[in-house]
Amino acid sequence: MGAYQPHHTWAEKQRHPCGQIYGYRMSLWAEHLGMLDTCFKGAESLETVRTVNGIAEENWRRYTSPDFTELQGHLLRYPLLVRAYGKVEPLPGYENFPNVGGKVIGAHTIKIPDQFTT
């Protein structure tokens, strides 16, 4: 999703814009990650990416653990590996989702033409 507020831009403010779009983005961080962090102000930063990925990884570990532990928010890592050369495969041991049994990768179908699923 992209959004633009002309009076809340880097050029206008010379700092992180803090309009309604900023507020909405921060509320999404809080909702999905169960927390707010100052790094979220710079959504494009490597620190933010590492923080979000760390929470998603830890939530996946908790979700797949045989012992119940409450998740932080409700963002999970999707159980895929993307190899350096682009091959996509399920995480080892997680070819199917643990709770519902559906395939992580899915399967091609001849019933729905590709142009409807892209």
pLDDT tens string 100-116: 888 888 776 667 666 66
pLDDT of residue 12: 66
Residues 63, 12 within the same domain = yes
In 10 A of CB 33, how many CB atoms?
19
Domains of the chain: total: 2
Overall average pLDDT of the 6-18 stretch? 70
Q: Both 72 and 82 in a single domain?
A: no
Residues 39 and 83 in one domain: no
pLDDT in tens, 40-58: 888 888 999 999 999 999 9
pLDDT for res 33: 93
Per-residue model confidence (pLDDT) at position 49: 92
Does 94 share its domain with 54?
no
Same domain, 39 and 96: no
**Percent of the chain whose pLDDT exceeds 70:** 81
Length of the chain: 118
One domain, residues 51 and 6 = yes
pLDDT reported for residue 114:
65
Q: Do 62 and 71 touch, CB atoms closer than 8 A? A: yes
Of 48 and 19, the one with more pLDDT: 48
Domain range for 90: 78-118
**Predicted confidence band of residue 13 (pLDDT cuts 50, 70, 90):** low
pLDDT at 118 exceeding the cut of 60: no
Which of 105, 31, 37, 43 minimizes the C-alpha distance to 75?
A: 31
Same domain, 72 and 94: no
Whether residue 24 sits in one domain with residue 71:
yes
